[in-house]
A and B are shown apart, each in its own frame.
Chain A
Amino acid sequence: MKPAILITITSTVVLGTMIVLFSSHWFMIWVGFEMNMLAIIPILMKKYNPRAMEASTKYFLTQATASMLLMLSIIINLLCSGHWTVSTIPNPVASTMITIALTMKLGLSPFHFWVPEVTQGISLSSGMILLTWQKIAPLSILYQISPSVNSNLLLMMAITSMLVGGWGGLNQTQLRKILAYSSITHMGWMAAIMVYNPTLAILNLTIYIMMTLGTFMLFMHSSSTTTLSLSYTWNKFPLMAPLILMLMLSLGGLPPLSGFIPKWMIIQELTKNDMIIMPTLMAITALLNLYFYTRLTYTTALTMFPATNNMKMKWQFETTKKTTLLAPLIVTSTMLLPLTPMLAALD
């Protein structure tokens, strides 16, 4: 893509999300979502193979349907409340429909089917933008309407997302699909706490974005998209192997790494609200995710995966790929636990 067009389109993706974040008029929020979706289609279609086009088409169809649902519920809200301001939504029909529209955009179960297929069909850098930046806008709207969201609906979606994300990722060897199922699970954790303490959902989003960005950058550095090619890391980039270990375990939510912070705070907040079974189920289903993260760690950093001999004795070239921001991302994704009291006071 020509650089001028790429700059314009990328800035429109950012502008669309900014419009969603900073608008108080429901119509402008819808416009921001549409601008965001329209501009990210060429980014998803960077490579012109049929797989990428199919993935972009699937993304476009699901997001356009969600935007239509959002517009319908905005109009119903206008009919019942009489104003266009983003605030709590008095009408239960409008509130449920906005929740469904936003969860379709996020990829929560039962609207999760597009996430693995779209993430697998696109390049690693497009997948990075898809799984991190695109989650900011819908979650910000959920944050703003969280007092009026139907808690039963959102909690059902959250727990099914965690189950789907856990079980779905178990049989995967393709890294992009693994990260897609990881995204579904983390969105489930964010949706679960949105009803009770939306601040923690934003905290979870921040830490998830940092971890996922770091993971994607490590994968892009070694251009590995399968578990097999990731297992050559010990020879190609020896420093990356323990970094992948730390990042995967942080994604899995193990203390003393940063990934534990959101899980800990969410479970604490849920138990403060007299829910015992739900956080127990959530903690148990997080083990499913942890299994495939540790399997990736095992094949990358802890064992020498079966490989042909020419993969075990590579020429050690100096790398010319830029690792922009990789070091700070890895540090923040793994070492933020001592700062938890400060992070929980974000409001």
Chain B
Amino acid sequence: MMTYIVSILSIVFVVSFAGFSSKPSPIYGGLVLIVSGGVGCGIVLSFGGSFLGLMVFLIYLGGMLVVFGYTTAMATEQYPEVWLSNKAVLGAFIVGLLSELLSVCYILKDDEAEVVFKFNGMGDWVIYDTGDSGIFSEEAMGIAALYSYGTWLVIVTGWSLLIGVLVIMEVTRGN
């Protein structure tokens, strides 16, 4: 089962994306977002990126989504829309699921598909090793490189985040 863990997690990932893209009420969207975020972490963890996966869990799910959940709970309506209550949402969800199922069947029937690049069956996505070069963990070295060679990227990213906050406050000020 462990060799197929990435495939299973990817299926859950994609199904939960269809779940919140069909636009239920934000509470349920947030719920499915948590599931998809957690499963995405699982995929990153399976490829050996333990630090990055835990960071996403802690900061994204445990910080940002928690705040999102609280604000949505404050602003929610009396009867929020769930997937089964509104035909449009249910229809969108089923369309999303069906299109993913169809693309999976298209890939599996020939065991090889070329959409933009060649996809050679399940062999591409099975984990045999974590991708370490042996002596040091590539992923931790990458994060370390972000703060040494990638200083400009840190500056730009930090500035973009600050601007994101300023812009949102400016836009919602309204007077």
Tell me the A residues contacting B by CB distance below 8 Å. 1, 5, 8-9, 12, 15, 19, 28, 31, 34-35, 38-39, 41-42, 45, 48, 56, 76, 79-80, 91, 93
18 contacts between A and B (CB under 8 A): A5-B166, A5-B170, A9-B167, A12-B163, A31-B160, A35-B156, A38-B164, A38-B167, A39-B163, A39-B167, A41-B167, A42-B166, A45-B170, A48-B175, A76-B116, A76-B117, A79-B117, A80-B117
Return B48 CB to nearest CB of chain A, in Å.
Answer: 21
Q: How far is the CA of A245 from the CA of B157 in the complex (A)?
A: 46
CB nearest neighbor in B for A8:
B166
Which residues of the other chain, B, contact A41 by a CB distance below 8 angstroms? 167, 171
Q: How far is the CA of A106 from the CA of B23 in the complex (A)?
A: 30
Q: Would you call B123 an interface residue if the criterion is a C-beta within 8 Å of the partner chain's C-beta atoms?
A: no
Q: Would you call B159 an interface residue if the criterion is a C-beta within 8 Å of the partner chain's C-beta atoms?
A: yes
Q: Would A12 and B159 count as touching, CB distance under 8 A?
A: yes
Q: Would you call B134 an interface residue if the criterion is a C-beta within 8 Å of the partner chain's C-beta atoms?
A: no
Name the residue in B166, B167, B171 with the highest tally of chain A Cβ atoms < 10 Å from its Cβ.
B167
Q: How far is the CA of A19 from the CA of B156 in the complex (A)?
A: 9
The answer, among A19, A28, A35, A76, for a CB contact under 8 Å with B163, is A35
Which residues of the other chain, A, contact B170 by a CB distance below 8 angstroms? 1, 5, 9, 42, 45
Q: Would B163 and A9 count as touching, CB distance under 8 A?
A: yes
Which residues of the other chain, A, contact B157 by a CB distance below 8 angstroms? 31
Q: Would B167 and A42 count as touching, CB distance under 8 A?
A: yes
Tell me the dominant secondary structure on chain A's binding face: helix
| B residues 136-175 touching A (CB-CB < 8 Å) | 153, 156-157, 159-160, 163-164, 166-167, 170-171, 173-175
Q: How far is the CA of A39 from the CA of B166 in the complex (A)?
A: 9
Q: How far is the CA of A90 from the CA of B157 in the complex (A)?
A: 30
CB nearest neighbor in A for B118:
A79
Task: Supply 8 further A-B pairs (C-beta < 8 A) apart from A31-B157, A76-B116, A76-B117.
Answer: A1-B170, A5-B166, A9-B163, A9-B166, A12-B159, A31-B160, A34-B160, A79-B116
Q: How far is the CA of A31 from the CA of B152 in the complex (A)?
A: 12
Return A122 CB to nearest CB of chain B, in Å.
Answer: 14
Which residues of the other chain, A, contact B173 by a CB distance below 8 angstroms? 48
| B residues 103-153 touching A (CB-CB < 8 Å) | 116-117, 153
CB nearest neighbor in A for B156:
A31
Q: How far is the CA of A325 from the CA of B166 in the complex (A)?
A: 30
Q: Would A48 and B116 count as touching, CB distance under 8 A?
A: no
Q: How far is the CA of A45 from the CA of B174 in the complex (A)?
A: 10
Q: How far is the CA of A45 from the CA of B156 in the complex (A)?
A: 24
Which residues of the other chain, B, contact A76 by a CB distance below 8 angstroms? 116-117
Return B105 CB to nearest CB of chain A, in Å.
Answer: 23
Which residues of the other chain, B, contact A28 by a CB distance below 8 angstroms? 153, 156
Which residues of the other chain, B, contact A31 by a CB distance below 8 angstroms? 156-157, 160
Q: How far is the CA of A80 from the CA of B170 in the complex (A)?
A: 41
CB nearest neighbor in B for A80:
B117
Which 4 A-B pairs have CB atoms at the shortest separation, nearest pair first?
Answer: A42-B170, A12-B163, A79-B117, A35-B160
CB nearest neighbor in A for B169:
A5
Return B94 CB to nearest CB of chain A, in Å.
Answer: 24
Which residues of the other chain, B, contact A19 by a CB distance below 8 angstroms? 156
Return B149 CB to nearest CB of chain A, in Å.
Answer: 12
Return B159 CB to nearest CB of chain A, in Å.
Answer: 7
Q: Would A45 and B171 count as touching, CB distance under 8 A?
A: yes
Which residues of the other chain, B, contact A45 by a CB distance below 8 angstroms? 170-171
Q: How far is the CA of A79 from the CA of B164 in the complex (A)?
A: 30
Q: How far is the CA of A247 from the CA of B159 in the complex (A)?
A: 39
Q: Would A15 and B167 count as touching, CB distance under 8 A?
A: no
Return A106 CB to nearest CB of chain B, in Å.
Answer: 23
Which residues of the other chain, A, contact B116 by a CB distance below 8 angstroms? 76, 79, 91, 93
CB nearest neighbor in A for B160:
A35
Which residues of the other chain, B, contact A34 by a CB distance below 8 angstroms? 160
**Per-position binary interface string of chain B over residues 42-56, scored 1 when its CB falls under 8 Å from any chain A CB and 0 otherwise:** 000000000000000
Q: How far is the CA of A139 from the CA of B41 in the complex (A)?
A: 38
Q: Would A38 and B171 count as touching, CB distance under 8 A?
A: no
Return A233 CB to nearest CB of chain B, in Å.
Answer: 34
Q: How far is the CA of A35 from the CA of B159 in the complex (A)?
A: 9
